[in-house]
Amino acid sequence: MKIRLLAVGSKMPAWVEAGVETYRKRLPRDFSLDIEEIALGQRGKNADIARAREQEAERIRSKLRGNEHVVALEVNGHAWTTEQLASQADDWRLQGQDVVLLVGGPDGLEPGLSAMAQQRWSLSPLTLPHPLVRIMLAEQLYRAWTLLVGHPYHR
């Protein structure tokens, strides 16, 4: 199973790349995580935020593959425990599905894009900065994998 993270935003600082890579390199090839940056929609002093989100949604849709299970990360999504995430990942794997995780820009995902996702997941009821979301996702996916294979990382 391959997991792709489509994240709206710009290139992250080196400390974020290092944090994500710490966990990405520990994952086996059959449970891999790839991250793709999606350019922000135009924003400015008098910007139309709805239009910016539509631009981001168009860019995300152009990257979606028809055979992937789509999970939107949203503050109002379902909160999963680590065990529930591991169970979800095992279900995706058993169904032979690759997964794409969607992280919106500063104003979130465009509603239509969120509605087409098969699942909505919330990492926290707090609004989190994008750099931390990437590291948290990588770590939680690694932790879920260790739980599935009985590795002692998750105690």
Residue 129 lies in a domain: yes
Q: In the prediction, which pLDDT does 154 show?
A: 76
Residue 154 lies in a domain: no
**Residue in the structure block whose two tokens are 């991250």:** 35
Residue 93 lies in a domain: yes
Could you tell me what percent of the chain has a pLDDT over 90? 84
Q: In the prediction, which pLDDT does 148 show?
A: 96
Q: In the prediction, which pLDDT does 5 show?
A: 98
Residue 155 lies in a domain: no
71: tokens are 């999970």
Residue 17 lies in a domain: yes
Q: In the prediction, which pLDDT does 42 show?
A: 84
Instruction: Measure the CA–CA gap between 154 and 45, rounded to whole angstroms.
Output: 46
Q: In the prediction, which pLDDT does 73 show?
A: 97
Q: Taking the C-alpha atoms of 131, 26, 89 and 14 in order, what is their torsion angle to the nearest 10 degrees?
A: 10
Q: In the prediction, which pLDDT does 37 show?
A: 95
Amino acid identity of residue 140, one-letter, is: Q
In the beta sheet, which residues pair with residue 71?
A: 101, 119
* pTM of the full structure: 0.93
Q: In the prediction, which pLDDT does 95 show?
A: 93
Residue 33 lies in a domain: yes
Q: In the prediction, which pLDDT does 145 show?
A: 96
Residues of the chain with pLDDT under 50: none
* Domain span at 39: 2-149
**Residue in the structure block whose two tokens are 């890579």:** 21
Instruction: Measure the CA–CA gap between 16 and 81, rounded to whole angstroms.
Output: 24
Q: In the prediction, which pLDDT does 22 show?
A: 97
Residue 79 lies in a domain: yes
| CATH number, domain containing residue 34 | 3.40.1280.10
Q: In the prediction, which pLDDT does 117 show?
A: 97
Contact yes or no for 128/70 (Cβ under 8 A): no
Contact yes or no for 55/42 (Cβ under 8 A): yes
Task: Provide the domain count of the chain.
Answer: 1
